[in-house]
């Protein structure tokens, strides 16, 4: 099923919530590389693995996170792109 | 199992580790004595969580002399077998040294290797060793006249400050390895490298770059291991052992948990007494794993290394 950007973003937030991450202040513009999004490396890995399982995709590390200033928006776009390729 | 590349094999290796070992406490005291910081809580963390106890420290030999200690026994064995050294790959982790001019000068002259093509590899920190394996593979593929490559690595901290990374302790070491063309007994089947160019500054990077490296570190390691196995159409059960660099015990413990593997799937036995030996970890641990009986003939195993923003993983068959 094709999902738009907002739907993907909301699903990402659901995964974050399931991992007890406070998502109240999270938006597309929040940078994943602190200080906006302070998170430890173990939880970070768990979040991304859970996203892989939720969306049934494989996150390519440099493509998903290698942007100079990775944001929740760029991660959302990357996942949306993966999902679009899956449905083609 | 698919074997995308089986162009070369590890024929022989030799590692020189200085006999002198310095404890974490002593090292912390030296760092503090020179104006650095190494608190009691950090000592506890390094010993308990990271499982460091001692690191080898070379007080007498220079870096070229350490290299000679590593190369001499190996090159002598190669000579007795009439095996050629057609190229030399020199791997360095540290960017700082006071005797960099030509570390291999004595070895090259002793064995008449002065005219051999020489390739220096660095800038990928402790993952440079996997970049060197990739380069060796490419050289074997593209140059039919290269049948044997000597891969050497040596690093020595020039000041106590340089022995400590935020989550690791470095020990001095030199190693040499002979790679031979073709499908022999100890094959390297697949090499995977991932580089995140945002960490181009390496150890000199900004604090926020370090933080991001530390945040993404576990995930990047997990991905490169999974990608290597997927490309070889293998599962973890097919692989006997994962031999990582000795960055610290916690790294491999956390990864084992996340990958639902037993902790002893990762070879961590040398961390306590050897510390992190820069790019020589992999060879040192390989030698130790064989000596311990953890690797047996025919076993598939992975080697994994991590630098600052650079990651390497290779599949081998012993």
For chain B, give every domain's residue range: 8-181, 187-317
Confidence band of B98 (pLDDT split at 50, 70, 90): low
Rounded CA-CA distance A78/B1 in Å is 31
Say whether B188 sits in a helix, a strand or coil: strand
Residues B253, B281: contact at Cβ < 8 Å? no
- Confidence at residue B100, expressed as pLDDT on a 0 to 100 scale: 58
Residue B223 has pLDDT above 70, yes or no: yes
Confidence band of B102 (pLDDT split at 50, 70, 90): confident
- Which class does domain B8-181 fall in? alpha beta
Q: Mark yes or no for CB contact A44/B254 under 8 Å.
A: no
Confidence band of A66 (pLDDT split at 50, 70, 90): confident
The reply to whether B212 touches chain A by the CB within 8 Å rule is yes
Chain B: closest CA distance from residue A40 (Å): 6
Q: What is the mean pLDDT of residues A61-74?
A: 84
Residue B49 has pLDDT above 50, yes or no: yes
Confidence band of B2 (pLDDT split at 50, 70, 90): very low
Q: What is the mean pLDDT of residues B21-32?
A: 96
Rounded CA-CA distance A25/B195 in Å is 31
CA B288 to mean position of chain CA atoms: 13
| B 72-101 residues inside an 8 A Cβ radius of A | none
Q: What is the mean pLDDT of residues B290-306?
A: 95
Query: The domain A5-87 belongs to what CATH superfamily?
Result: ACP-like (1.10.1200.10)
- The interface pTM score, or ipTM, of the predicted complex is 0.89
**More reliable by pLDDT, B84 or A63:** B84
Residue B217 has pLDDT above 80, yes or no: yes
Rounded CA-CA distance B254/A83 in Å is 29
Q: Which two tokens stand for residue B6?
A: 């089986």
- Which class does domain B187-317 fall in? alpha beta
Residue of A nearest to B259 (CA): A49
Residue range B235-245, pLDDT digits in tens: 999 999 999 99
Q: Do domains B8-181 and B187-317 have the same CATH topology?
A: yes
| B 19-38 residues inside an 8 A Cβ radius of A | none
The reply to whether B258 touches chain A by the CB within 8 Å rule is yes
Residues A13, B187: contact at Cβ < 8 Å? no
Residue B287 has pLDDT above 70, yes or no: yes
- Confidence at residue B3, expressed as pLDDT on a 0 to 100 scale: 47
Confidence band of A64 (pLDDT split at 50, 70, 90): confident
Residue range B113-129, pLDDT digits in tens: 989 998 888 878 888 99
Which of B61, B283, B49, B64 lies closest to B169 in space, CA to CA?
B49
Inter-axis angle of helices A5-18 and A41-55, nearest 10: 130
Q: Mark yes or no for CB contact A61/B219 under 8 Å.
A: yes
- Confidence at residue B206, expressed as pLDDT on a 0 to 100 scale: 79
Most confident listed range (B40-49, B152-161, B215-224): B40-49
Residues B26, B56: contact at Cβ < 8 Å? no
Q: What is the mean pLDDT of residues B62-68?
A: 92
The reply to whether A41 touches chain B by the CB within 8 Å rule is yes
Chain A: closest CA distance from residue B137 (Å): 23
- Confidence at residue A37, expressed as pLDDT on a 0 to 100 scale: 76
Pairing of strands B87-91, B164-165: unpaired
The reply to whether B222 touches chain A by the CB within 8 Å rule is yes
Residue B4 has pLDDT above 60, yes or no: no
Nearest to A45 among B196, B211, B218 (CB): B218
Q: Which range (A28-42, B135-149, B199-213, B286-300) has the least confidence?
A: B199-213
Nearest to A68 among B198, B216, B258 (CB): B198
Q: What is the mean pLDDT of residues B170-193?
A: 93
Residue range A43-58, pLDDT digits in tens: 999 999 999 999 999 9
CA B41 to mean position of chain CA atoms: 28
Percent of the residues in chain A that have a pLDDT greater than 70, as a whole number: 97
Q: What is the mean pLDDT of residues B205-214?
A: 80
The reply to whether B223 touches chain A by the CB within 8 Å rule is yes
| Residues pairing with B14 in the sheet | B176
Q: Which two tokens stand for residue B254?
A: 């956390």
Q: Which range (A16-20, B193-197, B224-228) has the least confidence?
A: B193-197
Q: What is the mean pLDDT of residues B37-54?
A: 96
Q: Mark yes or no for CB contact B218/A44 under 8 Å.
A: yes
Rounded CA-CA distance B309/B125 in Å is 9
Residues B74, B283: contact at Cβ < 8 Å? no
């Amino acid at each position: 099923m094709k999902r738009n950007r907002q739907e993907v973003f909301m699903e990402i937030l659901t995964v974050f919530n399931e991992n007890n991450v406070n998502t109240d202040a999270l938006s597309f513009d929040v940078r994943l590389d602190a200080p906006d999004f302070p998170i430890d490396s173990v939880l970070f890995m768990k979040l991304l693995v859970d996203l892989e399982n939720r969306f049934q995709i494989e996150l390519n590390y440099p493509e998903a996170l290698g942007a100079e200033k990775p944001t929740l928006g760029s991660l959302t776009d990357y996942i949306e792109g993966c999902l679009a390729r899956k449905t083609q | 199992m698919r074997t995308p590349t089986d162009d070369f094999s590890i024929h022989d290796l030799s590692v020189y580790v200085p006999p002198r070992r310095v404890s974490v406490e002593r090292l912390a005291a030296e760092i503090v004595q020179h104006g650095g910081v190494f608190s009691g809580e950090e000592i506890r963390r390094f010993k308990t969580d990271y499982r460091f106890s001692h690191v080898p420290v070379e007080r007498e030999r220079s870096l070229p002399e350490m290299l000679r200690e590593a190369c001499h026994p190996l090159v002598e064995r190669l000579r007795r077998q009439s095996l050629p050294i057609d190229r030399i790959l020199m791997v360095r982790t540290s960017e700082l040294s006071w005797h960099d001019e030509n570390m291999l000068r004595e070895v090259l002259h002793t064995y008449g290797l002065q005219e051999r093509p020489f390739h220096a590899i660095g800038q990928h920190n402790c993952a440079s060793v996997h970049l060197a394996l990739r380069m060796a593979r490419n050289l074997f593929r593209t140059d039919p006249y290269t049948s044997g490559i000597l891969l050497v690595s040596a690093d020595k901290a020039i000041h106590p400050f340089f022995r400590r990374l935020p989550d690791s302790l470095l020990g001095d070491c030199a190693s040499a390895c002979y790679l031979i063309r073709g499908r022999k007994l100890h094959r390297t089947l697949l090499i995977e490298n991932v580089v995140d160019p945002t960490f181009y500054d390496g150890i000199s990077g900004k604090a926020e770059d370090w933080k991001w490296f530390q945040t993404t570190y576990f995930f990047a390691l997990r991905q490169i291991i999974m990608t290597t196995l997927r490309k070889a159409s293998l599962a973890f059960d097919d692989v006997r052992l994962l031999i990582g660099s000795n960055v610290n015990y916690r790294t491999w413990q956390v990864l084992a948990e996340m990958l639902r593997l037993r902790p002893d799937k990762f070879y961590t036995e040398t961390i306590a007494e050897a510390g992190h030996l820069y790019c020589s970890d992999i060879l040192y641990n390989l030698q130790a794993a064989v000596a311990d009986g953890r690797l047996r003939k025919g076993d598939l195993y992975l080697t994994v290394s991590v630098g600052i923003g650079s990651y390497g993983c290779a599949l081998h068959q012993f």
